[in-house]
A and B are shown apart, each in its own frame.
Chain A
Amino acid sequence: MSLPFKPFLQMTAEDYHAIGLACGLEVHQQLLTNRKLFCRCPAGRYSDDYDAEVLRHMRPTLSELGEYDGTALMEKKTRKNIYYRIHRDTVCTYDIDDTPPFFPDERAIDIALEIALLCNLYIVGEMHVARKQYLDGSIPAGFQRTAILGVEGWIPYKDRKIGIRQLSIEEDSCREVSDVGHDRVLLTDRLGMPLIEVVTEPDMRSPQEMADVCQIIRMLCRSTGRVRTGYGAAREDVNVSVRGGTRIEIKGVPQITRIPLLIYNEAMRQCSLLAIRDELKRRGVTPDTFLASSHDVTRSVSKTHYLPIRGVMERGHRAKCVVLRGFAGLLNHAMQEHTTFAKEFSDRVRVIACLMTMPNIVHSDTASELLMVRDWKELRRRTRAADGDALVLVWGDEQDTRTACDEIIIRAREATLGIPEETRQAHKDGTTGFERILPGAERMYPDTDLPPIALAEDRLQRIGTQLPIRVWDRIDRYQKLGLPAEVIEPLVVSNRTELFDRLVDELGVEPSFAAVILTHRFKAMRRAGLPIDTLDDQEIHSVFKAHAEGILTRAGVPALIARALGRQSDDGGSPVSAELRAIGPAVSEHEIRVGVANAVTQSANLTFPTSERKHRYLMGTLMSTWYGRAEGRAVADQVAEAISVSSAEAPHQEVK
C-alpha cells in the first residue's frame, strides 16, 4: 500500500498545515552541579562498572486524587524483574533504597531559576516536590522527585511568541543496560543528577520549526554556562498531533537533527490511523459493535511448516489466535515509512507481553510464505472466523500469550476510536515505536518527605540581576555585526560571549576575527589536547589587546595562545603573559626589507627545484623569528620581489 504522504523531502509547510500538525517540546537539560539533587552523591561520574545488584518489582499505587495511572497498570502487566547495578562511588541508600531525601541542591535550584527567568516564566512562590511515578523501573523508588519552578512563559521565534508551559527541576533516571524478556537491567550512576524540563505549548507547526525552537532552548540553557554538555546531557521529548488526532509523545530524542523525520513519520502514522478508523466505521465496526475473541490453537498449528511456531508444544509453549471481526486487509495498511498497521500490535506484544523474539506475531493479511494457506484455513475453521475477519497469531509462554491476546484486542478496540494515547520511542530510521501508554496527571503525587520550599524574593532578585543577555538578543546582535551563521551558534553557547563583547566593544577587534578564534580555533586547540578552557577571559583579552595595539599580528593571536598552553609553566605565573613579554616590538617595513635581503644572500648557495619552494623556505626562516611581529603578507611580498630580482640576476641557478 502506498504512503499517504509525499516523500519527506518534498513536504512543505503548507502540507503540514493541511493536516493540522501541532508540535510541542519537552527539553531535558542536565545542570552542572557537584552533587546530585536530593542526596550528596557526586554528579556526572559515569562508569559501567558496578559493585552489587538490587532487584525490584514495581506496583501501581493510587494517585493523590484516588486514581490509578494507565501507564502504571500497563507496566504491572509486564511483570518485569528490574535489576539495578550499583557502584559505591555514585549511589547511596537514597538512590537505591529510597531512604528519605536530603534538601535539594541549592545551586541546582539557582541554575534552574536562572533558566526559568530567561524563559520569561512566572516563578512560583513555593516549590512543592512531587513524586512522578515511573513503573518502568527507570527509577528504583518507582517515582521521580520533581517540582515546578515557573509557569506560563514565552520565548520569541520568528515574529511570534512560543509559549513555555512550565519549567520543572527533577532528578535524572537510570541508564538502561538491557531489556530482554521479563528482565530489565539498569545502571544507576546517572540516577538522581539534577536536570530541568522545559515544556513548550504545542505552538510549532512544522518539523523545521520544532528543530529551530529546540535549538533556541538548548542555546538558552547553555548560554548560562552552568549546564552539562555532551551526549545525553540534553534530551528532547517531542509531542506531535494532527487535526482530529491526539497528543503522542516521542521520548528521549538525543539529537535535534533527528526531530524533523520523526515528526513526519509520526504525523503520517496518525493520519493513517484516522483513515483506518474511518474505514472500520464504514464497515460497521465501531467501539460499540467491536468484536474480538482469542483461541488456544496450539494443536492446530503444531504441524505447520513455519519454523518459529512449529513445535511450540514440545517446548511447553502455546499458540493463540485472536480473531478481529471486520479487520481483514487492514493489518497491511501503511503507517510510517517502513511499517504497517500490524506493527502496532507487534509492538504492544513485545513491550507488554514481553514476547521479544521477532517476528512475534503473524497475521492473515500477510502473504502466505509464512503460514500455508491450509494453515490459515484450518485456523479460520477452528476459530469460526469469517472472510472479513483478520487473524493474529502469537506463540510463547502460557501467561505471556494470554497477556498478548488481551493486548491485541485492546489495541484493536482502540483502532475503532482512532489514535491511542502513547509515548513512543524514536528509532534510528526516523520511525517511532510503542513505548508505553501515555501517563496522565494521575501519576503525580505530593512528596510527603519534604516540606514546601519557599523561593524568597531576594533570591530571585539576586539571580535576576546576574542573568546573561538573552540568547535571541545575542543572536540578533551577532547577525547585525555581520558574523557568519556557522560561528554564531557555537559562540552563543560558549562561555566566552562576555569576552567577545569586550573584545569588539573595548578593543575594536574585528568581530568575525574574534568570533572565529573564540569558537573554531579554540575547538581545534581543545581537540589537539591543549587546555584551552583553563585560560580565563582576562588572559585571552590581553592577547587580543596586544593585537589591537599592533604588537601582535592576526596569525600571532592563536599562535601565541597555543604556544602558551603548550609550554610548561614552572613559575606558576600566567604562561600567556610570559609569552606576551617575550614578543619583541613590531618589525618595521625597513627591517623586513633588510631581513629579506640578508636571507636571500645567505641562501644564495642553496638549490631549489622551483621558485615557490625557495619562497616557502625563505618565509619559514623569516617568520620563525618574526612570528606575531610582522604581517605574513608584507613579508611574502618582499620575499617574492627579492626572488624575482635575484633570479633575473642569476637565471642559471634555476634547475628544472
Chain B
Amino acid sequence: MVEKSMTGYRGIAGSILDTFRVGIWSDVVIESSKGRFSGLILPRSETADDKHVVLKLASGYNIGVAAEAITKITEHGRREAHYKIPEKQFPVDDRKPNVTLLGTGGTIASRLDYRTGAVIPAFSPGELYGSVPELADICNLRTEKLYGVFSENMGPEQYIRLAERVGEEIRAGVDGIVIGHGTDTMHHTAAILTFMIQNPPVPIVMVGSQRSSDRPSSDAAINLINAVKAAAEGDIAEVLVCMFGPTSDEYCLLHRGTRVRKMHSSYRSTFRTIGDIPVAMVDPDGIRDLRDDYRRRRDDRDVTINTAFEEKVTILYYYPNMQPDIVDAIVDNGYRGIVIAGTGLGHINKPLYGAIKRATDKGVHIYMTVQTLWGYVQMYVYETGREIMELGVVPAANMLPEVAYVKLCWALGQTGDRDEVRHIMLTPISDETTDREPYNGYLIFQGAIPEVQEFLRSIKR
C-alpha cells in the first residue's frame, strides 16, 4: 500500500477512500448521487482541495468525482503506473568529443510528479538517449546531477559547487560542458560563472527550456542538441547561454553569459543579448559566428576557479518617491554592497541623497546601473548625476543590473578595499561592460509598422 501522505488525499476524499478500502491505482466503479464513474484512482495534487477523487477513465481522460456524493466504491483490480523513460545504452565512440552535462534542474525529458503537478526530469545518459537520440551523433555524453531545483532557488552554495565541478571536469580533460538550468535566473548563473571560472579552455554552455519537455512542441530537445553541439564542436571557450533564437523551430543563439537576459515571462525566444549582439547561431548543421572577438578553444587545462562570494549585497530598483528609510534599512541590516537600478542615465531623487551619503560613509559600496537595461550610465549629463557621484556612487557603465549585482557579490567576496572593489567592478572580464554599443545592439521592433510587418511576413520568426 502506498503511504497515504504520498497520495495527496486528505479530508473528506481521504476518508472516503479509507471507508471503502481503496487507494491510488485501484481500478474502481464509483457509485454516487451524481452518477456512476469507472476508472483508475490517481494520486491528487497536494495543492488541490480535499473534496474530489481523481479518476483516469479508459479513454485516458482524468476527471474529479465529488467525494461527498460517493455512496459506494467497488474495486475490480489494481494497475500501478510504472513510469519509466525508455533507457538505452548511450553509445560510446572514441572519435567523438566528450561532453559532461551538469544538471541543476529544469527539464529535458520528464515525467509528471503527481503530488506537486510538476515534472520530474529524465537525466541519465540512457534516459536522454532514449528521448533525444540525436545527442549520440554529436558526442559521448556523461551526466551528473548536482541539484534538482527551480532556478529561483539557485544561490551562492550552488554557484560555488557548480564552478568547482566545472573546474574539475576541465582539468579531467573534457571537451565541453553543458549545464542544464531553469530559465528564470539562468542569466544570473551565467554571469557569476563567467566571473568564477576564468580563462576556460573549452565551451561552458548553459541550457534550459521554456516549454516543459512533456509537450510535443517543446524547445527542450532542440536547445539541448544545439547546446551539446556548441560544447562538443564549438570554438567559443566562454560561458554561454544557448536558447531559442526565433519562436520558430529554427536555430538557437549563443549569448555571452554577462550580456544575456530573460526578456519575456513565457515566450520561447525570451533570451536576448542586451546592448550588443549574440556570439553565434547554432543549429544541427553547424555553428555560425556572428562575431569573432571571442576566446578560442585551447588544448591546455589552465582554468582559474575563483568562487569568492559576499551575500550581503542587494539591488535597489529605484522608483519616484522612494523614501530614504529603505536605504537606511539596507545599511542597518549589514549590507555591504548596493547596486542601484536608476532611471534614465542613472538617477535617483534628492531626498535619498542623505541616506546614500550615510551608506557610503559607513563603507557600503554603491554602484549605479540603468533600469532601461539598454544604454550606459552617464552621470555627467545632468547635475543630478554629478551630485550622486559626489555621494560616492560609482557608475557601472552599461553593466546589466543583475550582472552588476553578482559581480559586486564576487568582488566583495575578495576584498573590502574601496579602490580594489572599484577596480574589479570596472575591469571587464567578459564584456559585462563594453567600450561601445553597436547600432544593432538595440533592436526592439514595433508591430504594425509596415516595414516590420513586411519583415515578419517574409521571415519565419
- Contacts A55-B248, A123-B35, A126-B52; is A444 near B61 (CB within 8 Å)? yes
Q: Please give, as numbers and ranges, the residues of chain A lying within 8 Å of B56 by CB-CB distance.
A: 64
| CA A97 to CA B447, docked complex, whole Å | 17
Q: Once the chains bind, are A125 and B268 in contact (CB under 8 Å)?
A: no
User: Is A373's CB within 8 Å of the partner chain B?
Assistant: no
- Contacts A55-B249, A98-B215, A441-B60; is A448 near B37 (CB within 8 Å)? no
User: Is A265's CB within 8 Å of the partner chain B?
Assistant: no
User: Is B444's CB within 8 Å of the partner chain A?
Assistant: no
User: Is A52's CB within 8 Å of the partner chain B?
Assistant: yes
- Contacts A56-B217, A148-B63; is A448 near B117 (CB within 8 Å)? yes
Q: Please give, as numbers and ranges, the residues of chain B lying within 8 Å of A51 by CB-CB distance.
A: 453, 456-457
Q: How far is the CB of A109 from chain B (nearest CB, A)?
A: 14
| CA A121 to CA B221, docked complex, whole Å | 41
User: Is A436's CB within 8 Å of the partner chain B?
Assistant: no
- Contacts A54-B248, A59-B216, A99-B266; is A125 near B65 (CB within 8 Å)? yes
User: Is B460's CB within 8 Å of the partner chain A?
Assistant: yes
Interface centre among B63, B85, B112 (most CB of A within 10 A): B63
Per-residue A-contact encoding for B52-83, CB less than 8 Å = 1, 0 else: 10101111111111110100000000000111
| CA A202 to CA B37, docked complex, whole Å | 19
Q: Please give, as numbers and ranges, the residues of chain B lying within 8 Å of A142 by CB-CB distance.
A: 215-218
**Which of the candidate stretches A127-135, A495-503, A517-525, A594-602 sits at the interface with the other chain?**
A127-135
Candidates A58, A126, A127, A440; contact of B60 at CB < 8 Å: A440
User: Is A143's CB within 8 Å of the partner chain B?
Assistant: yes
- Within residues 132 to 191 of chain A, which ones have a CB less than 8 A from any CB in chain B? 132-135, 140-143, 146-148, 151-152, 165-166, 168
Candidates B59, B84, B266; contact of A97 at CB < 8 Å: B266
Smallest CB gap from B269: residue in A = A97
User: Is A286's CB within 8 Å of the partner chain B?
Assistant: no
B interface, how many residues as a size bin? 35 or more
Q: Once the chains bind, are B117 and A124 in contact (CB under 8 Å)?
A: no
User: Is A72's CB within 8 Å of the partner chain B?
Assistant: yes
Q: Once the chains bind, are B249 and A65 in contact (CB under 8 Å)?
A: no
Q: Please give, as numbers and ranges, the residues of chain B lying within 8 Å of A444 by CB-CB distance.
A: 59-62
| CA A134 to CA B52, docked complex, whole Å | 29
Q: How far is the CB of A62 from chain B (nearest CB, A)?
A: 6
User: Is A53's CB within 8 Å of the partner chain B?
Assistant: yes
Q: Once the chains bind, are A141 and B217 in contact (CB under 8 Å)?
A: yes
| CA A47 to CA B212, docked complex, whole Å | 32
Q: Please give, as numbers and ranges, the residues of chain A lying within 8 Å of B457 by CB-CB distance.
A: 50-53
Q: Please give, as numbers and ranges, the residues of chain B lying within 8 Å of A143 by CB-CB distance.
A: 215-217
User: Is A57's CB within 8 Å of the partner chain B?
Assistant: yes
Candidates A64, A96, A452; contact of B48 at CB < 8 Å: A452
User: Is B109's CB within 8 Å of the partner chain A?
Assistant: yes
Candidates B59, B83, B86; contact of A68 at CB < 8 Å: B86
Candidates A56, A121, A152, A199; contact of B248 at CB < 8 Å: A56
Q: Once the chains bind, are B217 and A140 in contact (CB under 8 Å)?
A: yes
- Contacts A125-B66, A135-B216; is A148 near B456 (CB within 8 Å)? no
| CA A103 to CA B69, docked complex, whole Å | 26
User: Is B330's CB within 8 Å of the partner chain A?
Assistant: no
Per-residue B-contact encoding for A22-60, CB less than 8 Å = 1, 0 else: 000000000000000000000000000011111111111
Interface centre among A55, A135, A143, A443 (most CB of B within 10 A): A55
Q: How far is the CB of A456 from chain B (nearest CB, A)?
A: 10
- Within residues 110 to 126 of chain A, which ones have a CB less than 8 A from any CB in chain B? 121-126
| CA A93 to CA B267, docked complex, whole Å | 8
Q: Once the chains bind, are A62 and B217 in contact (CB under 8 Å)?
A: no
User: Is B211's CB within 8 Å of the partner chain A?
Assistant: yes
Q: Please give, as numbers and ranges, the residues of chain A lying within 8 Å of B211 by CB-CB distance.
A: 98
User: Is A83's CB within 8 Å of the partner chain B?
Assistant: yes
Smallest CB gap from A131: residue in B = B215
Interface centre among B81, B109, B215, B218 (most CB of A within 10 A): B215
Interface residues of A, count at CB 8 A: 65
| CA A263 to CA B203, docked complex, whole Å | 61
Q: Please give, as numbers and ranges, the residues of chain A lying within 8 Å of B36 by CB-CB distance.
A: 122, 152
| CA A444 to CA B447, docked complex, whole Å | 37
| CA A53 to CA B35, docked complex, whole Å | 47
Smallest CB gap from B250: residue in A = A55
Candidates B54, B64, B109, B112; contact of A454 at CB < 8 Å: B64
User: Is A609's CB within 8 Å of the partner chain B?
Assistant: no
Q: Please give, as numbers and ranges, the residues of chain B lying within 8 Å of A99 by CB-CB distance.
A: 266-267
| CA A361 to CA B244, docked complex, whole Å | 40
Q: Once the chains bind, are B65 and A64 in contact (CB under 8 Å)?
A: no
Q: How far is the CB of B83 from chain A (nearest CB, A)?
A: 4
- Contacts A62-B214, A97-B267, A451-B48; is A166 near B59 (CB within 8 Å)? yes
- Within residues 570 to 619 of chain A, which ones have a CB less than 8 A from any CB in chain B? none
Smallest CB gap from A88: residue in B = B447
Per-residue B-contact encoding for A448-462, CB less than 8 Å = 1, 0 else: 100110100000000
| CA A247 to CA B59, docked complex, whole Å | 14
Q: Please give, as numbers and ranges, the residues of chain B lying within 8 Å of A566 by CB-CB distance.
A: none
- Contacts A62-B85, A64-B112, A168-B61; is A93 near B217 (CB within 8 Å)? no
Q: Please give, as numbers and ranges, the residues of chain B lying within 8 Å of A57 by CB-CB distance.
A: 222, 249
Q: Once the chains bind, are A445 and B64 in contact (CB under 8 Å)?
A: no
Q: Please give, as numbers and ranges, the residues of chain A lying within 8 Å of B218 by CB-CB distance.
A: 59, 61, 142
| CA A133 to CA B218, docked complex, whole Å | 12
Q: Please give, as numbers and ranges, the residues of chain B lying within 8 Å of A62 by CB-CB distance.
A: 83, 85-86, 109, 111, 131, 214
Q: Once the chains bind, are A122 and B213 in contact (CB under 8 Å)?
A: no
User: Is B247's CB within 8 Å of the partner chain A?
Assistant: yes
User: Is B49's CB within 8 Å of the partner chain A?
Assistant: yes
Q: How far is the CB of B228 from chain A (nearest CB, A)?
A: 16
- Contacts A125-B69, A130-B62; is A454 near B34 (CB within 8 Å)? no
Q: Please give, as numbers and ranges, the residues of chain B lying within 8 Å of A60 by CB-CB distance.
A: 216
Per-residue B-contact encoding for A200-235, CB less than 8 Å = 1, 0 else: 000000000000000000000000000000000000
Q: Once the chains bind, are B212 and A448 in contact (CB under 8 Å)?
A: yes
Smallest CB gap from B79: residue in A = A65
Q: Please give, as numbers and ranges, the residues of chain B lying within 8 Å of A65 by CB-CB distance.
A: 81-83
- Contacts A99-B266, A122-B35, A454-B64; is A83 near B216 (CB within 8 Å)? no
Candidates B58, B111, B212, B215; contact of A441 at CB < 8 Å: B58
Q: Once the chains bind, are B57 and A148 in contact (CB under 8 Å)?
A: yes
Q: Please give, as numbers and ranges, the residues of chain B lying within 8 Å of A443 by CB-CB distance.
A: 60
- Within residues 220 to 256 of chain B, which ones have a CB less than 8 A from any CB in chain A? 221-222, 247-250
* Besides the known contacts A146-B61, A151-B35, 7 further A-B residue pairs in the complex with CB atoms under 8 A apart: A52-B456, A97-B267, A122-B37, A124-B64, A151-B37, A440-B60, A452-B48
Nearest 4 interchain pairs by C-beta: A122-B35, A126-B64, A142-B216, A444-B60
Query: 18 A–B contact pairs at CB < 8 A?
Result: A52-B456, A56-B217, A56-B248, A59-B216, A61-B216, A61-B218, A72-B216, A88-B447, A98-B217, A122-B35, A122-B37, A124-B63, A124-B65, A132-B60, A166-B61, A199-B59, A442-B60, A448-B117
Residues of A within 8 A of B (CB): 50-66, 68, 72, 83, 88, 93, 96-100, 121-128, 130-135, 140-143, 146-148, 151-152, 165-166, 168, 199, 440-446, 448, 451-452, 454
Residues of B within 8 A of A (CB): 34-37, 45, 47-49, 51-52, 54, 56-67, 69, 81-86, 109, 111-112, 117-119, 131, 211-218, 221-222, 247-250, 266-268, 447-448, 453, 456-457, 460-461
